Structure 1
Amino acid sequence: MNERSGAYDLMERWLTSMTALRGTAEKTIHAYRNDVSSFLGFLTNYKGAQTSQAMLADVNTRDMRAWLSFERQRDLSPRSMARALSAVKSFYGWLSETTGMNVTAVLATRAPKFKKPLPRPVERTAAKQLIDTVEIQSMDGWIGARDVAVVTLLYGCGLRISEALSLQFKDAPLPDVLKIRGKGGKERVVPVLPVARNAVQTYVNMCPHAQNPNDALFLGKRGGPLNPRLIQKVVEQARMQLGLPASATPHALRHSFATHLLEAGGDLRAIQELLGHASLSTTQAYTSVDQARLMEVYRKSHPKGA
C-alpha cells in the first residue's frame, strides 16, 4: 500500500462506516467523497508529498487556513466551503475515534460566515390553487389524482418529496399518525390530516396497476416507481399557469407547511419535530420569514410606514 492509498483508504473506510452505521444517503456520501478527496489533493500539493496518515495527523491551523484560502481563490462559495469543512471535520472526528489522532486543529477551524437564504413559502391561497391546478395537468384521471396526493402530502404533512415517494402500498390507507424515515435514517412521527388521507385514498382507488404491499405507493404511467422529476415538472406547469414565481416548487410547499403552522401559533420545537430537522437552528429560519412578513405588513399599513 503506497502513502497515497493509505490516506484515501482511510477515507473510504470512513465513508463505509457512515453508510453502514448511520444510513447516510448516497448523494451525501458522494458529496463527502468529493470534498475530502479535494482536501487530500490540496495537502499533497501543499506539502509536496503523498498524503499519508502521518501527514493527516500533522495538519495544523496554518494548513487549514491555507486550504480555505485555496478554496476561496477557486471561487468556491462560502456555503460550499462550509460544507467541505464540515465533511473534513467529520472525517477527522472518525480518525480521532479509530486511531486516537489529535484532531484539535481541524475541529477548531471556523467555517466562513454566509447568510442563509430564507425559505420562500407559497401563500395559503396560492398553495390551494396550486394543488387544484396540479390535478388538471394530466388527461389520465388517476395520474392527476396521484399528483394531487403527492403534493398534498408535501403541504399537508411537511414531507420532503423523497419521503412521500418512499411510501409503500402497505402504508395505505394512511393512519392518523405516520412514521417517516427522513435524512440520515432519522425517524419521526407526522400527523396525517383527513384531506391528505383522502387524497391518497382517491389515488389508490383509481390506480390501474397492481398494488403489491411492498411496492412504491406512487407509480409512474407504466407501473414503476414514480420519478420525482415528474412531480417537479407538474408543479412547474401549474405555477406557470397561475403566474406564481419560480420559487413555488414542491419543496416550497414543505416550507409553506412550516410557515403557516408558525403563523397559526405553532410551537417551534413541535415544528422542528414535524419537519425532522436535526437542529432547532434550521427551523428557526422560519421565524425570520414570519418576522419579515410582519414587517412588510407593518410598513404597508402603518401611517408612517411609507
Structure 2
Amino acid sequence: MTDLPLPRRFAEHLGRDRRRSAHTIRAYEATAIRLLAFLQRHWGGPVAQDALAKVSAADLRAYLSVRRDEGLSNTSAARELSAIRAFLKFAGGDDAQLPRLRGPKVKKSLPRPIAPHEAVALAEWASDEAREPWIAARDWAVLLLLYGAGLRIGEAVALTGAALPLGATLRVTGKRDKTRDVPLLPEVRVAIEAYVAACPWGIARDLPLFRGAKGGPLPPGAIRKAVRSARASLGLSDRTTPHALRHSFATHLLGRGADLRALQELLGHASLSSTQVYTAVDAAHLLDVYRAAHPRA
C-alpha cells in the first residue's frame, strides 16, 4: 500500500473509507495527479507528501488559473477545488490550516427538478465537506435516502434503529403518524449500512438511526446547512433544498411512467391532489427540454 503513488492511495481511501462513487474517485484522483504535476513545475522540483502542508492559497490560485486557461468552467473549477481540499487533508494537512480559497462565482440555474447526476453531486459535495468520516457517511446516506426513496427530511431523521437490519423496503412514519413502506434501492441501502458501520454511537432499536455530532438526534438543520453549502458551490438554484430532493424523486418517477396512485402511496400524500401537482412540474420540465433541443422551438 505504501509503495503506491499518493493519488492512488487517495483514490483507494475514497472508495474504501468514504464510499465515493467510481465517477468521483476517478475525478478526484485525476485532480490530485494534475495538482502534483503543477506543483512540481511551480516549485521547480519533486513534491514530497509532507511538502503538501505548505501549499498556499496563492499556489491554488495559480493552479486554477492554469486550469481555467485550459477551458475549465466555473462549476467544474468549484468542484475541482473541493477535490483539492480533500486531497490535501488526506495527505496529512490540518483542516484548520488548509488554505481557504473562495470558489469561483457560478451562474445560478433556473429552478427545476434536480437531475439525477446533480442529486448525486449534491450528496457527494455535502459529504466531502463533513468534518469527520462518519459524519460524511451520514450525510451521504441521508441525502441519498431523500432522493432515492422520496422521504421528507423529518421522516428521515425520525428513523430509529428498529429499521435495521435493512431489507428491500423501509417502513416510514409520515404526517399524522401514518406509516408506509417504501422500496429501498441497493445504493441507498449500502450507504445507510456504511454509515451504521462508521457511526461511533451505538444504534439501538429505540434510539435515532441518524445521530448528531455529539450523539443526540440529528437535527434537520444540519442537513439543510450542508445542502446550502453544496448548492452554492455547485451553482444550483436556491430552491435546491432537502425537500427538493423529494420533489425530484416524484418528478423523475412520473416522467418514467409511474402511476399517480402508486406515487401517492410512495410519497405518503393523504390526498391525490397533492400528488397531481407533479404532473404540471413534469410537463414544464419536458417543455424546457423540448425548447432546448428543438431548433425552431
Provide the TM-score with structure 1 as the length reference.
0.59
Give the corresponding residue for 2:151.
159
Matched, 1:289 2:269: no
Residues 125-161 of structure 1 show CA distances to partners (whole Å, capped at 9, x for unaligned) of 2111111111111130000000111111100100001
Q: Secondary structure at the match of 1:225?
A: coil
Q: Secondary structure at the match of 1:189?
A: strand
Which contiguous aligned blocks of 4+ residues in structure 1 show a shift greater than 6 angstroms?
none
Q: Select the residue among 180, 187, 191 that pairs with 1:188.
A: 180
Alignment of 1:67-78 (within 5 A): none
Matched, 1:222 2:214: yes
Matched, 1:266 2:273: no
- CA distance in structure 2 between the aligned counterparts of 1:274 and 1:228, rounded to whole angstroms: 21
- CA distance in structure 2 between the aligned counterparts of 1:201 and 1:138, rounded to whole angstroms: 18
Q: Select the residue among 161, 164, 168 that pairs with 1:172.
A: 164
Give the corresponding residue for 1:142.
134
Following superposition, the deviation at residue 302 of structure 1 comes to: 3.3
- What is the total number of aligned residue pairs between the two structures? 187
Matched, 1:200 2:178: no
Following superposition, the deviation at residue 268 of structure 1 comes to: 1.4
- CA distance in structure 2 between the aligned counterparts of 1:298 and 1:290, rounded to whole angstroms: 12
Following superposition, the deviation at residue 189 of structure 1 comes to: 1.4
- CA distance in structure 2 between the aligned counterparts of 1:244 and 1:300, rounded to whole angstroms: 18
Give the corresponding residue for 1:257.
249
Q: Secondary structure at the match of 1:289?
A: helix
- CA distance in structure 2 between the aligned counterparts of 1:293 and 1:194, rounded to whole angstroms: 27
AA of the residue aligned to 2:155 = E
Alignment of 1:46-61 (within 5 A): none
Give the corresponding residue for 1:232.
224
Following superposition, the deviation at residue 296 of structure 1 comes to: 2.2
Give the corresponding residue for 1:30.
none
- CA distance in structure 1 between the aligned counterparts of 2:295 and 2:139, rounded to whole angstroms: 45
Alignment of 1:65-104 (within 5 A): none
Unaligned runs of 5+ in 2: 1-110
Matched, 1:126 2:132: no
Residues 26-69 of structure 1 show CA distances to partners (whole Å, capped at 9, x for unaligned) of xxxxxxxxxxxxxxxxxxxxxxxxxxxxxxxxxxxxxxxxxxxx
Give the corresponding residue for 1:302.
294
- CA distance in structure 2 between the aligned counterparts of 1:130 and 1:228, rounded to whole angstroms: 16
Q: Percent identity?
A: 52
Following superposition, the deviation at residue 303 of structure 1 comes to: 4.2
- CA distance in structure 2 between the aligned counterparts of 1:170 and 1:303, rounded to whole angstroms: 54
Q: Secondary structure at the match of 1:188?
A: strand
- CA distance in structure 2 between the aligned counterparts of 1:197 and 1:300, rounded to whole angstroms: 36
Asked if the contact 1:149–1:203 (Cα under 8 Å) also holds between the matched residues in 2, the reply is yes
- CA distance in structure 2 between the aligned counterparts of 1:299 and 1:138, rounded to whole angstroms: 39
- CA distance in structure 2 between the aligned counterparts of 1:200 and 1:209, rounded to whole angstroms: 14
- CA distance in structure 1 between the aligned counterparts of 2:151 and 2:247, rounded to whole angstroms: 10
Q: Secondary structure at the match of 1:139?
A: coil
- CA distance in structure 1 between the aligned counterparts of 2:222 and 2:288, rounded to whole angstroms: 35
Unaligned runs of 5+ in 1: 1-118
